[in-house]
Amino acid sequence: MEKGLISVDRWTGYSQAYFLTHLHSDHTQGLSSTWAKGPIYCSRLTARLFPLKFRDFKLSLLRVLDVGVWHSLSLVSPSSSGAKSAVEVIAIDAHHCPGAVMFLFRGEFGCLLYTGDFRWEQINKKTKITRTMLLNALKDDVVDILYLDNTYCNPSYAFPSREIVAQQVVNIIASHPEHDIIIGIDTLGKEDLLLRISHALKIKIWLWPERLQTMHLLGFHDIFTTKTSLTRVRAVPRYSFSTETLEFLNATRPTIGIMPSGLPWVVKPLKRHDKPFGSLPWSGGSGSHTDKQNGDLQYVEKLNEYSYSVPYSDHSCFAELQDFIKLVQPTNIKGIVSSSTCYINPLYYFGRLCRANQPAQRLHWKHKRKGKGERAPTVWARATFSEGASAESEWERGRTVKVRYSGIHVSRTSALRRLQRGAKIVENDVLIE
């Protein structure tokens, strides 16, 4: 795809059309209320939530894409003196947070699928519906490049479905009937977890005022409150979740904290020789304070006297990524997360699943691409996380080095860190062209 045509979750530089997968801060860095570069395409729910994040934004710049419906754009090819370039796009539910979608693009450049952040739970009924929608959208098309949420692209990450973990959070709360409960969440996401707790225990949940406003826009009016006297369960911003806070609260009333995340959380400063994660509890390892022996709390990690961590993730784990890639059968894969302490190029583990590496598929692929040129299509997309990223990716940020490749600045983690995690390093190994 030509530069200057389309940008996804990237707000620097110039394009004719901009696409936003969802409203987490790591995907909107560079976007502001004064935006005027061009139209932004997003889901209907993201458009509804937009004024909360960008209060003075000119809403006439938003273009709503209904999920499951093909939309046609007539853009001008930057390299052919005003010639029109037809682009078709369909938004597909990403099951990440409210409003989050994947984008499937189709045009003279081929077929591209950009997942954004997504969760692909096979046993989830909504995912089964999305699976059918995606296959119907693809029909006989071959995905030339899959831009993949590679947050947990490592076999170490193997956590259960959100439904199972949500029930275990309910079990934790029910097993502490005399305690106040603090749950760390972001400004968007984990709504289904809170709803499950409320319905199962028949209680309201406290939220801070701005978060309550989001819930009201999502259609939830009777479940949440800002009055602490009405409930013992409070959902608080992640940044306020700490050992110090819990110790302070316990001086007045027994209180426990629960941190839902795909990554284990450290909520107190580490000693010099401590490992930040120890073994990864979600992959079967056993930390020094696990409650895994208790069948009702099988996946719960007790971090310290007052706090628990549970593997409730809005990103796909390794096995789910593998299932998704087997379904899509792309020709090539590029990760959208590049500045991660756990970064591994998805081709290292999944390259064998790509059509380009399957001899039986090569002839078919060449036939499908005949007449469309040999240049691999690319999409101008987000390359790095930056300040304001969603809390679940905070641990994944590390030192990065800037490299220049094909005239575009991209970011990648140090070779040493990647080698330590089993990554295969190749010359000019970058994520976007």
Answer for the pair 125, 93: CB distance below 8 angstroms, yes or no. no
Residue with token string 């628990």: 308
- State in Å, rounded, how far the first CA of the chain is from the last one: 10
CA 43 to CA 23: how far, in whole Å? 10
350 within some domain: yes
Backbone angles phi, psi at 298, to 5 degrees: -60, -40
Instruction: Please indicate, yes or no, whether residues 18 and 124 belong to a single structural domain of this protein.
Output: yes
Per-residue pLDDT tens digits of the chain, which is 433 residues long: 667 789 999 999 889 999 999 999 999 999 999 999 999 999 999 999 999 999 999 999 999 999 999 999 998 877 666 678 889 999 999 999 999 999 999 998 899 999 999 999 988 899 999 999 999 999 989 999 999 999 999 998 998 999 999 999 999 999 999 999 999 999 999 999 999 999 999 999 999 999 999 999 999 999 999 999 999 999 999 999 988 999 999 999 999 999 999 886 655 544 444 433 333 334 433 333 344 434 467 788 888 899 999 999 999 999 999 999 999 999 999 999 876 555 678 999 999 999 877 655 444 444 444 444 444 444 555 533 233 344 344 333 333 323 222 222 333 333 333 333 333 333 333 222 2
Total Cβ atoms within 10 A of residue 124: 16
How would you class 323 by CB atoms within 10 Å of its CB: exposed for 0-12, middle for 13-18, buried for 19 or more? middle
- What is the Cα–Cα distance from 328 to 313, expressed in whole angstroms? 22
In a domain, 246, yes or no: yes
Does some domain include residue 80?
Answer: yes
Residues 262 and 218 placed together within one structural domain of the fold:
yes
Q: Do 103 and 220 share a domain, yes or no?
A: no
Task: Answer with the one of 310, 333, 366 that is the final residue of a domain.
Answer: 310
> Could you tell me if 119 and 144 lie in one domain?
yes
What residue numbers bound the domain in which 215 lies?
A: 162-267+297-310
What angle do helix axes 191-201 and 162-174 make, rounded to 10 degrees?
A: 40
Evaluate whether 124 touches 95 at the Cβ level (below 8 Å): yes
Question: Are 173 and 88 within one domain?
Answer: no
Asked whether residue 26 falls in the same domain as residue 125, the answer is: yes
- The answer to whether residue 320 sits within a structural domain is yes
| 276 falls within a domain | no
In a domain, 168, yes or no: yes
The beta strands (E) that lie in 34-192 are given as 40-42, 62-64, 70-76, 84-93, 101-107, 110-114, 145-148, 180-185
Dist CA 268 CA 271 (whole Å) = 9
DSSP assignments along 288-323, one per residue: TTB-TTSGGGTT-EE-SSSEEEE---SS--HHHHHH
Residue 179 sits in a domain whose CATH number is 3.40.50.12650
Hey, which bits of 369-407 come out as E strands?
A: 380-381, 400-405
Output the six-digit token pair for 396: 């994944």
CATH number for position 332: 3.60.15.10
Same domain, 175 and 242: yes
351 Cβ neighbours under 8 A, 6+ residues apart:
333, 357
CA distance 354 to 347: 8
- My answer on whether 10 and 151 are in the same domain is yes
User: Does one domain contain both 168 and 114?
Assistant: no
- Pairing outcome for strands 307-310 and 233-237: unpaired
Tell which of 253, 286, 310 closes a domain.
310
Please tell me the total count of domains within the chain.
2
Residue 415 lies in a domain: no
Same-domain check for residues 106 and 184: no
Tell me what pLDDT residue 122 has.
85
Instruction: Kindly provide the b/e burial profile for residues 287-314, where b requires at least 16 CB atoms within 10 angstroms of the residue's own CB.
Output: bebbbbeeeebebbbbbeebbbbbbbbb
pTM, entire model: 0.80
Would you say residue 364 lies in a domain? no
143 and 233 in a common domain: no
Tokens of 171: 């079990």
Sign of the alpha-carbon dihedral angle for 396, 397, 401, 404: positive
CA distance 80 to 31: 29
Indicate whether 11 and 104 sit together in one domain: yes
